[in-house]
């Protein structure tokens, strides 16, 4: 299937936090082993959570953090709706709240996904929530019309 949209949000907050911690561990008088462990941990965080990409095609909405080890995929047939939302959440990454799972790397804008197969709402952070929601809903309508 051809990709209709691919949007990547850079996690500037994650990048800045990792850079500051990396700088601090080399300024502080720590032993080399501690420096190495903390430094490697920060690099892993950056690789895993430095960005969030959302891809929409004719059949699925897919998302992944960083290099793609952490990912999700939803069949458009299972999505009831997708809408743009602003939300308040402390932190970035993956968070579980009552009735909501949040995946984000920056900011407070997201798309909200309601699925038929789960009461849990999914929030995917993005810089372009209106655009992505419009395309997802258009693809949902197309699938309904063709079924």
Q: What is the CATH number of domain 3-8+54-145?
A: 2.30.29
List the chain domain ranges. 3-8+54-145, 13-47
The pLDDT assigned to 72 comes to 97
Q: Residue 129 and residue 147: Cα distance in Å, rounded?
A: 27
Q: Residue 66 and residue 46: Cα distance in Å, rounded?
A: 8
The pLDDT assigned to 1 comes to 47
What residues contact residue 63 under an 8 Å CB cut-off, 6+ apart? 52, 53, 54, 55, 71, 72, 73, 103, 124
Q: Tell me how far apart the terminal alpha carbons of the chain are, to the nearest angstrom.
A: 17
Tokens 């419009």 belong to 134
pLDDT in tens, the chain (147 residues): 456 899 999 999 889 989 998 888 888 878 889 888 988 999 999 999 999 999 999 999 999 999 999 999 999 999 999 999 998 876 788 999 899 999 999 888 999 999 999 999 999 999 999 999 999 999 998 887 876
């Amino acid at each position: 299937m051809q990709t209709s949209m691919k949007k990547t949000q850079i996690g500037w907050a994650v990048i800045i936090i990792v850079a500051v911690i990396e700088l601090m561990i080399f300024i502080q008088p720590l032993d080399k082993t501690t420096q190495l462990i903390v430094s490697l941990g920060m690099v892993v965080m950056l690789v895993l959570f430095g960005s969030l990409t959302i891809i929409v095609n004719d059949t699925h909405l897919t998302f992944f953090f960083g290099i793609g080890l952490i990912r999700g995929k939803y069949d458009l047939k299972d999505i009831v709706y997708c809408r743009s939302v602003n939300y308040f959440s402390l932190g970035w990454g993956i968070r579980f709240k009552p009735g909501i799972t949040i995946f984000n790397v920056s900011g407070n804008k997201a798309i909200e996904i309601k699925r038929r197969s789960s009461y849990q709402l999914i929030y995917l952070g993005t810089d372009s929530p209106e655009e992505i929601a419009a395309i997802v809903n258009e693809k949902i309508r197309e699938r309904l019309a063709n079924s």
